[in-house]
Amino acid sequence: MARPGSGLLVPVNGLGYPPQNLARVVVWEWLNEHGRWRPYTAAVCHHIENVLKGDARGSVVLGQVDAQLSPYIIDLQSMHQFRQDTGTMRPVQRNFYDPSSAPGKGVVWEWENDNGSWTPYDMEICVTIQNAYEKQHPWLDLTSLGFCYLIDFNSMSQTNRQSQRKRRLRRRMDLAYPLIMGSIPKSQSWPVGASSGQPCSCQQCILVNSTRAASNAILASQRRKPHGGTAGNAGTAGTHTVVRQSNTFAGTSFWSQTSSSTGTNNNNISLGGGQAKAEQVQLPLSAANFPCSPVMPSLSSAHGHHTLTINGQNNLNRPGTQRISVGTARGAIPAGVPALPVKNLTGSGPVHPALAGMTGILMCAAGLPVCLTRAPKPILHPPPINKSDMKPVPGINGMRRKTKKKHLRRGKNPEDVVRRYTEKIKVVPDEDCTICMERLVMSSGYEGVLQHKGIKPELVGKLGKCGHMYHLLCLVAMYNNGNKDGSLQCPTCKTIYGEKTGTQPPGKMEYHVIPHCLPGYPDSKTIRIVYDIPAGIQTNEHPNPGKKFSARGFPRHCYLPDSEKGRKVLKLLIMAWDRRLIFTIGTSSTTGESDTVVWNEIHHKTEFGSNLTGHGYPDPNYLDNVLAELSAQGIGEDNLKD
């Protein structure tokens, strides 16, 4: 049903702000490689705020609240996110929004990507979409925000104005972002001061302290020289495109107490209005600069002068990561000095190898004795094994499963599938249908778009197990957009009706027991799973039918403990393989490559003898977590036959 009112073009005039002493919602964001600020989830933001209350100069281990973020640490003093396994640093910021806006209400707007999962919009875009939705505008044009998309609230779709490609979008409820009271800081500098007490000497704290020192040095180098440049204008003359309606500050700390802050108190930020800066700062190295210089390697040159070069980023609003370079020579390692593993000393990988030397110099300056070592490499595979040592898994028949191209189930009429799992509602409650976002008492938003003789657009049904209610026509539309395998999944609680199948390409799965134990399971042998999927051509069930897809990293080796629970997980994984749910074709989240075979939301352990990447052992919660992930795919312990 059409929404009343006219469409909305995002205004380009300046916007004022209410008084600074009102309540505000806090959203923490990180800068990605495309120069866009991406929000952390509400749960992560609550965790950061809780740590912030205890220590404004501390660090936040994100893995404590989200297992997928286990490699990341946020240093609150330098306002940078640090990835421990690669050394990559990215700026973060603490942003404020009105409590009545989308983050204050826990509203999340998302678009459907190529592999069928949902990606949240940037927070300022989410706020803009929610504002237009609440005002009942039928459409929203995002062109003035720098995005060539048209949002259609009637069909809940996003259309690319250039390619005319449509994607589904949805509005869902989540945890509201944290609320704070009082005045909002006007300065862009984080309130830091001298730390008290002796620093902790554990490896984790050493790593965090070195990250803080390195990022502070970069920021200090950017502040020490005046920068020139003109602000670009993405709009027409005399106008600025407003992309943020909130005060933002990014914290820094400086070596020099006399460094002047160039932060401004701008209420509005113009699209494309950054400054172009480039500098190279040279600092002399001497015993005066580094009081613990005896611990450092000796530096020599023909002129008796040594310089440290810090290549700064253009500014914090530029994409990419912070890089540091320094020329050093190796020296003796004193006994008793803690070793800090630093990756990429040989020059390979995304981090400049001299980051290791810079880290050591800065830690010495802070009074932390340290020597640099190469980081341990992940132990991905066990020692060589004879074929005779590979034994069948107890209680499981065979050692191999193959899948061929399984055609979609035919003869599954969408109306019959929907009617099988729902019952009609006579007294309809006055609430939203979360598929079309229209009120249930109104006709389905797919009226006029989808025609089915047996289902009228005003009919409402209730799903049998979970009891959630939707327009029957909306459920038919959702089924037609899925795998059409005779199953139905509640879009609210994810309860599965019927047997869910996936779009995994043909391949084979092998599994056997090897005579080695995993870290954390000294009394158990190991179950090794080997997945092998070749490259091929996409079919009608895939994102781009007729186009080739790649299969990187195969065969992939995964590991489970040969325990009672480990064997139970293996049985369920075999069932998931048979239902083609382990892999799918989409865009890789690590490489960005599209049309490639990717994991399908069931995590596997691919690291045999270590846990440096987060995909290894010990991990006492892994077996329970993967059982929950399998259950979310409709494969629970009740599916196992005795």
Task: Enumerate the domain spans of the chain.
Answer: 20-180, 398-402+500-637, 412-495
Segment (H or E) for 359? helix 355-365
Reported pTM: 0.46
Is the omega angle on the peptide bond into residue 618 within 30 degrees of 0, that is, cis? yes
- Mean pLDDT across the stretch 405-409? 48
Determine the pLDDT at residue 264.
Answer: 38
- Mean pLDDT across the stretch 571-600? 91
Binned at pLDDT 50, 70 and 90, residue 326 comes out as very low
**Average pLDDT across the chain, whole number:** 73
The CATH class given to the 20-180 domain equals alpha beta
pLDDT at 172 over 60: yes
Determine the pLDDT at residue 624.
Answer: 94
**Of 129, 125, 138, 130, which Cα lies nearest the Cα of 105?**
130
Task: Determine the 3-state secondary structure of 49 from DSSP.
Answer: helix
Right CATH number for 398-402+500-637 from 3.30.390.130, 3.90.1150.10, 3.90.1170.50, 3.40.50.970? 3.30.390.130
Determine the pLDDT at residue 233.
Answer: 39
Q: What is the CATH number of domain 412-495?
A: 3.30.40.10
Segment (H or E) for 45? helix 42-54
Burial per residue of 429-456, b for 16 or more beta-carbon CB atoms within 10 angstroms, e otherwise: eeebbbbbbbebebbbbbbeebebeebe
Interval 331-358: pLDDT, tens: 444 444 444 444 444 444 444 445 555 6
pLDDT at 592 over 90: no
Binned at pLDDT 50, 70 and 90, residue 320 comes out as very low
Pairing verdict, β 118-120 and 37-39: unpaired
CA 280, 286, 287, 292 torsion-angle sign? positive
